[in-house]
Chains A and B, each alone.
Chain A
Amino acid sequence: MSETYDYSDLKDLPKIAEQILSLQSKSAFFIFNGPMGAGKTTLIKELCKQLGAEDLVSSPTYNIVNEYRTMEGKRICHFDFYRIEDKSELYDLGYEEYFYSDSICFVEWPEKVGNLLPSEHIAVNLSVERNRRSVSFEVINNK
């Protein structure tokens, strides 16, 4: 089951983010597929805002992972695997400590780490064509 939203305006983003967050009961692990410039970081900023993260949400490309806290103190881990060249680097990162903790995970460039992703997760797909952007999302269960 996948839902698709088209939007041309950033004003529509909060509504889409709300829909995505409603899937939290299914899984707190969200992956974001889409090319550079598709709006992955922008969407994650909105999700963090709605979760009440007071920290500044910025791109983790350099740091690989940024951590924020929701108002209730829950940890949000924001990953960007753009710079990852080999899956073994994820082991070096201690990724299990992040993936399988009681944290909300947002992952950009998930294709870089392939099958290390948890079998259950929410896939958010972003695409952009001319000025039309669309977001679709679905619950993935590979168990």
Chain B
Amino acid sequence: MANKSVVILGIESSCDDTSASVIRDGVVLSNVIANQDVHTKYGGVVPELASRAHQQNIVPVVYQALAQAKVKKTDIDAIAFTRGPGLMGSLLVGTSFAKAYAMALNIPLIEVNHMHAHIMALFAKETNEDFTHPSFPFICLTVSGGHTQLVKVSDHLTLEVLGQTIDDAAGEAFDKSAKILGLDYPGGPLIDKHAQNGDPLRFKFTHPKAPDYNYSFSGFKTGILYFIRDEMEKNDQFINENLNDICASIQHTIIGILFKKLNKVVADTNIKEVGLVGGVAANSGLRDALKQQEKIGWKTHIPKFPYCTDNAAMIAITAYYKYLNNEFTNQAISAKARYAI
């Protein structure tokens, strides 16, 4: 048993994207996310947002994940799925598929918390060489369109949420600011792009207050809204003339809000091993800001980009550690839209 390799198929369907991944002994062999490619191959189109899309995507995505990994169904040792948190209709597709697949193949089933999995993306490896990962305990900042959390990670399976957003997520603050500026949704990446050529200190925006290690972005969004409205009344070309500086200042402020609490956690816990995960971890300003902290003795970790946004490899990796710890579930399990770590 000790020498036998462990192959896990992971399924992620908590929100917009359907994804399947195969890993062997923690090494990612494939990580397929439903996109136009899958559909060009198998016919059909990708709707922007639809739980039904998961039903159309899941079989082709799993087949492609197995094919890319050069793994047969019968090689799979366990199947893992996102149980929550997420959109119920979407979660049900992955949950039902995983349960049926496990039953048909007579293999164990492993349930995974999506927020746990985002953090475990830090342990994604594509080869057994050059595998760098955080050592325990570490602090992890999870930032995405729907979540903003500060988590203390004591080992692969022991996590404690220290703080989280009490209203909007950081990714939402980016996207809604972009919307106010008339940029396309989701506009987070566009803010990042314009910010590269702007002055981050040109405009000052509100830092909303939130208790303890929690975050709040609702007041920030409203602040941007009023600021833009007032400036546009004075000069209707204000956005066009200052877009880069506005974006840079918005980005600078969001990063400042995120770091204020992160710095506090690091100072209070004296844990200088820090991870940054989730879709917003793709933001170049945020990545640079984290890297800067190495100068003051932090050890920082960010997953490769494909493991930042929602993906099934992170589900499979989390499941791998649960597998090693014999944490299996049974057919009675159901999806959970609200699911705390």
* Residues of A participating in the B interface, judged by any CB pair closer than 8 Å: 36-37, 41-42, 45, 55-56, 58-59, 61-68, 83-85, 88-89, 91-94
A92 touches B218 (CB 8 A): no
Given the complex of chains A and B, what is the CA–CA distance between A94 and B51 in angstroms?
8
User: What are 19 A-B pairs with beta-carbon distances under 8 A?
Assistant: A36-B180, A37-B221, A37-B222, A41-B168, A45-B167, A58-B166, A61-B168, A61-B169, A61-B172, A61-B175, A63-B87, A64-B87, A67-B88, A67-B337, A84-B49, A88-B50, A89-B47, A93-B87, A94-B51
Chain B residues contacting A88 (CB-CB under 8 Å) are 50
Nearest CB on A from B107, distance (A) = 29
Given the complex of chains A and B, what is the CA–CA distance between A37 and B180 in angstroms?
10
Give the number of residue pairs across the A-B interface with Cβ within 8 Å.
Answer: 85
For B150-191 the 0/1 string (1 means CB < 8 A from A) is 000000000000001111110110011001100001000000
Apart from A36-B180, A55-B338, A58-B164, list 6 A-B contacts with CB within 8 A: A36-B176, A37-B221, A62-B147, A62-B169, A67-B338, A91-B52
Given the complex of chains A and B, what is the CA–CA distance between A56 and B210 in angstroms?
13
B337 touches A65 (CB 8 A): yes
Given the complex of chains A and B, what is the CA–CA distance between A61 and B338 in angstroms?
15
- Evaluate whether A65 and B88 lie within 8 angstroms (CB atoms) in the complex, with A36-B176, A59-B169, A89-B50 already known: yes
Nearest CB on A from B158, distance (A) = 21
Given the complex of chains A and B, what is the CA–CA distance between A67 and B171 in angstroms?
20
Nearest CB on A from B236, distance (A) = 19
**A41's contact among B53, B167, B185, by CB below 8 Å, is which?**
B167
Chain B residues contacting A91 (CB-CB under 8 Å) are 52
Chain A residues contacting B221 (CB-CB under 8 Å) are 36-37
Chain B residues contacting A45 (CB-CB under 8 Å) are 167
Chain B residues contacting A65 (CB-CB under 8 Å) are 87-88, 337
Interface size on B, residues (CB 8 A): 37
A62 touches B338 (CB 8 A): no
B185 touches A68 (CB 8 A): no
Nearest CB on A from B55, distance (A) = 9
Given the complex of chains A and B, what is the CA–CA distance between A94 and B89 in angstroms?
7
**B185's contact among A42, A59, A83, by CB below 8 Å, is which?**
A83
Chain B residues contacting A61 (CB-CB under 8 Å) are 145-146, 168-169, 172, 175-176
Chain A residues contacting B48 (CB-CB under 8 Å) are 85, 89
Q: Is B94 an interface residue (CB 8 A)?
A: no
A66 touches B218 (CB 8 A): no
A62 touches B145 (CB 8 A): yes
Given the complex of chains A and B, what is the CA–CA distance between A94 and B225 in angstroms?
33
- Evaluate whether A66 and B165 lie within 8 angstroms (CB atoms) in the complex, with A36-B225, A41-B218 already known: no
Chain A residues contacting B222 (CB-CB under 8 Å) are 37
**A58's contact among B89, B169, B171, by CB below 8 Å, is which?**
B169
Q: Is B28 an interface residue (CB 8 A)?
A: no
A58 touches B165 (CB 8 A): yes
Given the complex of chains A and B, what is the CA–CA distance between A83 and B185 in angstroms?
9
Q: Is B85 an interface residue (CB 8 A)?
A: yes
Chain B residues contacting A59 (CB-CB under 8 Å) are 167-169, 172, 218
Q: Is B80 an interface residue (CB 8 A)?
A: no
B89 touches A42 (CB 8 A): no
B51 touches A93 (CB 8 A): yes
Chain A residues contacting B225 (CB-CB under 8 Å) are 36-37
In chain B, positions 25-73 with a C-beta closer than 8 Å to chain A are: 47-53
- Evaluate whether A89 and B49 lie within 8 angstroms (CB atoms) in the complex, with A37-B222, A41-B218, A56-B166 already known: yes
A62 touches B172 (CB 8 A): yes
